[in-house]
Amino acid sequence: MDHLENQEILLYQNKIREALANQQIDQFRAEYLELHPYDQAAVFEEEPEEIRKQIYSYLSPDETAEIMENVDQENADIYFTEMYSRYAAQVLAEMSADDAVDILKEMDKNKVASFITIMEKDAADEIKHLLHYEDKTAGSIMTTEFVSVSAADTVREAMLHLRAEAPDAETIYYTYVVDQDKKLVGVISLRNLIIAEKDWLISEVMSDRIVSVSVGDDQEHVAQMVRDYDFLALPVVDFQNHILGIITVDDILDVMEEEADEDYSRLAGVSDTERGEDSAFVSARKRLPWLIALLFLGMITASMISQFEDTLSKVAILASFIPVIGGMGGNTGTQALAVAVRGMATGDVARRGKMRMVIREGLTGIINGVTCGIIITLVVIIWQKSFYLGLLIGLSILSTLIVATLAGAVIPLIMHKLKIDPAVASGPFITTINDIISILIYFGLATAFMGFLPQ
C-alpha cells in the first residue's frame, strides 16, 4: 500500500472510530491491520487518549509493538504510560531490542526499572545489556537480534539454523560467521548461502573481508561507513573482535536525520533539544544563553565603532556602508562555515585533507572579494563622485570577504581539534565574529585613507 496522505488518514480514522464506537472488534482489526505499520502509527498518533486505550485493548502486544516502532519517539513515553504496566512491558519485549532501548532512554529511570522488572527475563536481559552503552555510540543503536553460524558448519546446517532463527532476527540478508572463540571471522550473504552446495563448509563459501565497527564508535562515523559501503547491516564488535550486535540501515537513517537536525539547530544558534511542542517560555529559556553570549559579542563591535568616532565625525558617509561591509562578511563567513561543517560531517574533509579545503575556501574568498570589490567600487564612484571613497569601500569588501571566508572555514577545524562539535560555530556566532573583523578592516583602512576622503 502507498504512503497515506492526510485525507486518507482522516478517512481511515473515521472508519476506525466508527468500528470502535460500535465495539466491532473484527471490523476494526480488518480495517486497521490492513495498513502498513507506518500508516498504523500515523493514524494512531492522531487519536485522543480514550481512542488509543481502546486500540490497545483490541490489539495483541506483538501488533502494538509494530506501531510503537514507528511512532515519534518523543511521544512514546506518553503512550507507554497510558498502557497497563504489564501490557506495556509485553509490548517492549516484542519490539526490536534497539527500538525498545531508544524509547526507554527517553523515559524516567523509575519507569524503566518498573517495566524491566515485570518483563520476561530474556527480553529484560537483552534490553539491560544495550542500555549500558553510552548514548550516540554504535553500542547504543545496535540490535542483538542477528544470525551467526560457525565456520565449521556445513551449508545445510547453516540453513537449518537460519530457518530457526529468522523469525526473531532483525535481518537475514547477512549471516555472520564466528570461530570456536565466538570471534567474527567472516560473513555470507543470503544469496550465496542459497546457491552454495549443501555439503560445503561455511568457511569455504564465506567472505573473510569484513567491515565492522567498534562498540564505542560514534554513531556519525557508523553512518558514514554504511553510506560509503552501501551495506544493509554492519556488525559491531568489541576490542577482541567478538560480535556483539548489528546496526541496520533503518537505524542509520534515523541517525542521519538526528545528526542533521542537531547540526541545523546549532548552525541556527538554537538548542537541538528544542521541540515544536515546547511553550514560548521553554523555547525562550533554551535560546537565551546563545542570545546573551551574542549580545556581549555585539557590545564588542559597538565599542570598536566608538573608537573610530573621530573618523566618523569627519567623514559621516562612512557610516552608511557599515551594514554593507558587516553583512557581506557575515554572509560569506556563514557560507564557508556551512561547507566546512558539512564536509566534516560527511567525511569529505578527512578524505581530501583539511589544508586543501582551507586553500579552496581562501581562493573562493579572493575571487568573490575581487568581483564584489570591483562592483562596489564602481557603484560608489558613480554614486558619491569620489574615487578614493569607492576604492576604500572596494578594498574593505575585498579584505573582509577573504578574511571572513577563511574564518568560516578555519574556526570549525579549530573547534574539531579541541573536541568541540564544529556545528557549535553557529551562523549567529560566526556572523558576530566577522562583524568585529569587518569593522576593524573597514575603519582601519578608512583611517589610512582619511587624507583623501571628502570631508
Q: Are 434 and 365 within one domain?
A: yes
Q: What's the mean pLDDT in 104-119?
A: 89
For residue 194, give the CATH number of its domain: 3.10.580.10
Predicted model pTM:
0.62
pLDDT band, residue 333 (cuts 50/70/90) = confident
Indicate the residue among 114, 135, 156 that finishes a domain: 135
The answer as to whether 260 is a domain residue is: no
Quick one: 41 and 73 in the same domain?
yes
What is the rounded average pLDDT of the residues 58-76? 91
Q: Is there a domain that residue 79 lies in?
A: yes
Give the number of domains in the chain.
3
Same-domain status, 118 and 227: no
pLDDT tens, position by position, 242-277: 999 999 998 888 888 777 766 666 555 555 555 555
Residue 91: partners with Cβ closer than 8 Å, 6 or more residues away: 61, 64, 65, 68, 80, 83
Domain assignment of residue 308, yes or no: yes
Q: Give me the CATH number covering residue 36.
A: 1.25.60.10
The domain boundary residue, chosen from 113, 135, 157: 135
3-state secondary structure of 200: coil
State the average pLDDT for the chain: 84
- Determine the residue type at 163: R
Residues 293, 438 within the same domain: yes
pLDDT per position as a tens digit, 371-407: 999 999 999 999 888 898 889 999 999 999 999 899 8
Domain boundary among 85, 113, 135: 135
Residue 268 lies in a domain: no
Q: Which of 285-294, 330-339, 384-393, 434-443 has the lowest mean pLDDT?
A: 285-294
Higher pLDDT residue, 142 or 12?
142
**Claim to verify: residue 13 and residue 121 sit in the same structural domain:** yes
How does residue 201 score in pLDDT terms, banded at 50, 70 and 90? Answer: very high
Find the domain containing 216 and state its range: 148-254
Helices 61-68 and 37-45 cross at an angle (nearest 10°) of 80
| pLDDT at position 428 | 67
Least confident of 63-77, 155-169, 257-271, 277-291: 257-271
**Which CATH number does the domain housing residue 285 bear?**
1.10.357.20
Q: Is the same domain home to 190 and 102?
A: no
75 compared with 202, residue with greater pLDDT: 202
Instruction: Identify whether residues 46 and 72 lie together within a single domain.
Output: yes
Whether 130 and 153 share a structural domain: no
Domain-embedded: residue 266: no
pLDDT category, 12, cuts 50, 70, 90? confident
**Do residues 122 and 198 share a domain?**
no
The answer on 130 and 153 residing in a single domain is no
